[in-house]
Amino acid sequence: MTQEDETGQAQTNGAADADQPDHGAYIVEPMISAKAIAARVEALAKEIERTFADTELLVVVGLLRGSFIFIADLVRELRLPVEVDFIEASSYGNAMESTREVRILKDLRAPIEGRDVLLVEDIVDTGHTLSQVVKMLRARKPRRLATIALLDKPSRREVEIRADWIGFEIPDEFVVGYGIDYAQRNRNLPHIGKVVFRERGTDTAGDGAGP
């Protein structure tokens, strides 16, 4: 949801689909290409189908706002009966460091008791957001609850949690693109890129995704 919770398998050299976006104060260097993301999403969908093969209806819950592109692509690959719902949680605002406090800004529209649920996160960083949202959903007594994250930053973890499925594991870099933002910008990039700040002359680590 923000660059505070991510997962995956080291893929830091995917080719970019476009030139490096230039935003004056910073540029975005390519990390994971759109092609690599699409292939990984397709593979993840197949794994999820096997796990939930007996489901009557899978409730796919997206953590807004960073997961919206990921969840759209993932759902289109799933050959299962699905229902989509969303939760919006915030722990970053426009800042680059997490406050460690998670606020629920938008809750689910329907109950999940006795239902199969897949929680979709964009990035797991410290783990606070995913941990607290999972705890909240488990208290609502779903039949099964599984988690998936597009990106994971294990070096940043502060709580013991790991998504059941991970798209890519990445180093401690501030990333944007494919729904993930920096101060609400760069969500529309088709690939994942690393933010590099010009004035500092060095890479900036942190949370590459806004809530």
Q: Which residues are annotated as catalytic? A: 125
113 in Cβ contact with 144 (< 8 Å): no
| Tally of CB atoms within 10 A around 57 | 11
74 by Cβ neighbours in 10 Å (0-12 / 13-18 / 19+) ranks as buried
Ranges of H-type helices in the chain: 34-51, 68-77, 128-138
149 by Cβ neighbours in 10 Å (0-12 / 13-18 / 19+) ranks as buried
| Tally of CB atoms within 10 A around 174 | 22
Closest CA to 204 of 157, 171, 169: 171
User: Left (φ > 0), alpha (ψ -120 to 50) or beta: where does 146 sit?
Assistant: beta
